[in-house]
Chain A
Amino acid sequence: MIINLEGYHGTSLESAQSIQSSKYDLSTGDEEWLGDGVYFFIKGISSKLEDLAVKWAISRAWDNKFKRNKYRNYCVLLSHIEVHDDNFLDLTTEDGLDVFDYIIDRYIKKMGSIRKTVKYQDGQFLNFARRENIVDIEVAKGNFYIKFTKEKIKGLNLRTNNCTICTVFDPAKNIKSTKIITNGSVI
């Protein structure tokens, strides 16, 4: 069965134009929630997806080191994502968690056999599971607490999830169309 997702991606106007003319760049790094990939707000615990993408684009504009905005204009892109359910890891469901937990259990037992304790984050573990071909994950979905401008300014760091996101590991394969739906000024 094919899963269809409508993903909202907030970014700068310049990046949005680049994405439309060429392709998305993957977000990479240990701090990524679901591992390397292109991130989208999708329907889940929040239905205000365009608002979330705008808030994200505005919060990402601020460069805390230089105390100024990196860009003046933001954009929201709407992408249509298609993925087969066998390649879709949905961590908001019991089925998805069963898969994730099983791989983690096997890893922990293996490390236990040599008396090793290893720390990692969700995204790192997903990168490992996907790149080592343990499972064929093309798109992963999860509920997370994401800090936007208000959360950063007020120093909020709650555990209650505020949005549902997905990451697409191979945009060329799973993203079928993209269009700019909103633009505006950061300030």
Chain B
Amino acid sequence: MKLTKELKKRIDNYFDNISAEELLNITVNKYDFCEVNIEIENQKFDSVVKSFYNSKSNSGVYDEGKDYCDYSIAA
């Protein structure tokens, strides 16, 4: 089986003539596809955690003279 122009057209025809909602319904209910629901309530956050780089923190450069690793991040 090759992806010939005819086969591509047939595949396109299927997807062009079905609504996304109907396709979802068929694949989930008939073929047991699993819908992944990741919803954020109210679409807003009450709080956030701020992450930042610290140029004085350490990176993974191993020095044979030491028995630990330095972790300096280039900033």
Which residues in A have some Cβ–Cβ distance to B below 8 Å?
30, 85-90, 95-96, 98-99, 102-103, 106-107, 109-111, 113-114, 116-120, 124-125, 127-128, 131-135, 137
CA distance A113 to B21 in the complex (A): 10
Which residues of the partner chain A approach B1 to less than 8 Å between Cβ atoms? 85-90, 95-96, 99, 135, 137
**Which chain A residue lies CB-closest to B2?**
A95
Contact A106 B12 (CB under 8 A): yes
**Which chain A residue lies CB-closest to B24?**
A116
Contact A134 B27 (CB under 8 A): no
CA distance A103 to B3 in the complex (A): 10
The verdict on B62 contacting chain A, using a C-beta distance below 8 Å, is no
Contact B26 A132 (CB under 8 A): yes
B:1-50 near A, CB below 8 Å = 1-3, 7-8, 10-12, 14-15, 18, 20-21, 23-24, 26-28, 30-36, 38
Which residues in B have some Cβ–Cβ distance to A below 8 Å?
1-3, 7-8, 10-12, 14-15, 18, 20-21, 23-24, 26-28, 30-36, 38
16 A-B residue pairings within 8 Å (CB atoms): A96-B1, A98-B2, A107-B15, A107-B23, A110-B15, A110-B23, A111-B20, A116-B35, A117-B38, A118-B34, A119-B34, A119-B36, A120-B31, A128-B27, A134-B14, A137-B1
Contact A120/B33 with A85-B1, A95-B1, A106-B15 known, Cβ cut-off 8 Å: yes
Interface SS of A by simple majority: helix
Q: A116-B24, A119-B33, A135-B11 are in contact. List 5 more A-B contacts (CB 8 A).
A: A95-B2, A103-B11, A106-B11, A116-B20, A134-B11
Contact A117 B35 (CB under 8 A): yes
Contact A132 B32 (CB under 8 A): no
Contact A113/B20 with A102-B11, A135-B1, A137-B1 known, Cβ cut-off 8 Å: yes
CA distance A89 to B1 in the complex (A): 5
Shortest distance between the CB of A104 and any CB in chain B (Å): 11
CA distance A117 to B39 in the complex (A): 11
Contact A127 B31 (CB under 8 A): yes
Which residues of the partner chain A approach B20 to less than 8 Å between Cβ atoms? 110-111, 113-114, 116
Which of A89, A111, A124, A134 is in CB contact (< 8 Å) with B31?
A: A124
